[in-house]
Amino acid sequence: MDCCNRIDKKFFNAKKLSKKVFLIYITAGYPNLKITEELILGFSKIGVDIVELGVPFSDPIADGPTIQKASKEALDNNVNLSKIFKIVRKIRNKTEIGLIIMTYYNVIYQYGLKRFIADCKKVGIDGIIIPDLIPEESKYLVKLSKKHNVRLIFLLAPTSSLDRIKLVSKYSSGFIYCVSLTGVTGERSNLPEIRDYINKVRRHTDKPIAVGFGVSKSYQVKKVLKYADGVIIGSAVIKEIERNINKKNLVENVLKFVSKLKEERERVNKVKKKRLSYV
């Protein structure tokens, strides 16, 4: 474990204590960057382990209507990568919460690959997720991210072949992002059975596995954490922001919503600890 990377620390310490990692996705700059900063600091206080900061983009191919809408509104407010880095630098003076940038390759390409990775390191970004970047075309970015101790996280899907699982297992660092279903992000009333899928991935890696896409309810958190090392919740949080968009207590209400979902993580942790006490 590289002791200098917060993602590694979160998963290492969680495994050591037989606990699970809780990740939240929000679109940076939705509804504005001030709220983004307040939410991240609030997430840190209530025990969220890692926050994925989505960079608004005009063609977010992996995202469903909820995140697409949030992304468009952030773009309308002229939110860009430079402004996001500026707010992250401020946040880093107040919290050690894990921070991941989730963006599309064109955004990084336009910004400049070397500059992007160097700035991630400089402001305190711990990892990067690029849904439209495949491992075969990532070698230069993998090299840069290793140099600057920034984790480059790749995705797998239930339809991923054995060769794809092995390739992602080789190149992904920090953790492997297992998409729970085929399709885009968004709340789902039911998630598919993931046991066989996660077990298949686990047979080919010793890296942590986090599951996202479609997770929005407490019982779904419980279901995911039965097999995965971490759970990622995004669209449901964006929806909660949207429901409170004109309210003064927006941040407070979103934190309450996230806390309720996080309670299921705590219950899973307690059950695992109780089982271990009988070993």
* pLDDT one-digit tens code per residue, 168-217: 999 999 999 999 865 445 444 456 578 999 999 999 999 999 998 778 78
- Can you read off the two tokens belonging to residue 139? 């070698």
Does the domain at residues 6-277 carry the CATH identifier 3.20.20.70? Answer: yes
- 1-39 burial by CB neighbour count: b if 16+ within 10 A, else e? eeeebbbbbbbeebeeeebbbbbbbbbbbbbebebbbbb
Evaluate if residue 84 carries a pLDDT over 90: yes
Single out the residue of 77, 83, 74, 41 nearest to residue 56, CA to CA: 74
The dihedral formed by the CA atoms of 194, 195, 201 and 206, expressed in degrees to the nearest 10: 120
Q: What are phi and psi of 109, to 5 degrees?
A: -60, -45
Q: How confident is the model at residue 16 (pLDDT cuts 50, 70, 90)?
A: very high
Q: What is the pTM of this model?
A: 0.91
Residue 5: pLDDT above 60?
yes
pLDDT at position 270 = 62
CA 130 – CA 118 distance, rounded (Å): 16
Count other Cβ atoms within 10 Å, centred on residue 256: 12
Q: What is the pLDDT of residues 112-132, one digit of tens each?
A: 999 999 999 999 999 999 999
Task: Tell me the residue length of the chain.
Answer: 279
Which listed residue (8, 52, 73, 126) is catalytic? 52
Q: Is the pLDDT of residue 42 over 50?
A: yes
Average pLDDT, the chain: 90
Give the per-residue pLDDT at 271: 59
Per-residue pLDDT band for 273 (boundaries 50, 70, 90) equals: low
pLDDT cut 70: percent of the chain above it: 89
Per-residue pLDDT, 272:
56
Burial class from Cβ neighbours inside 10 Å (0-12, 13-18, 19+) for residue 196 reads: exposed
Would you give the end-to-end CA distance of the chain in angstroms? 27
The answer to whether 63 is a known catalytic residue is: yes
- The structural domains of the chain, with segments of one domain joined by +, span 6-277
CA 105 vs CA 10, 57, 118, 128: distances in Å: 26, 10, 16, 11
Distance CA 245, CA 74 (A): 13
Q: What distance lies between CA 122 and its chain's CA centroid?
A: 20
Please tell me the number of Cα atoms within 13 Å of 51 on its side-chain side. Answer: 31
Write the burial class of residue 226 (CB in 10 Å: 0-12 exposed, 13-18 middle, 19+ buried).
Answer: middle
118 vs 263, which has greater pLDDT?
Answer: 118
pLDDT at 182: 55
What residue type is assigned to position 195 of the chain? R
Percent of the chain whose pLDDT exceeds 90: 77
Q: One of 8, 63, 126, 240 is an active-site residue; which one?
A: 63
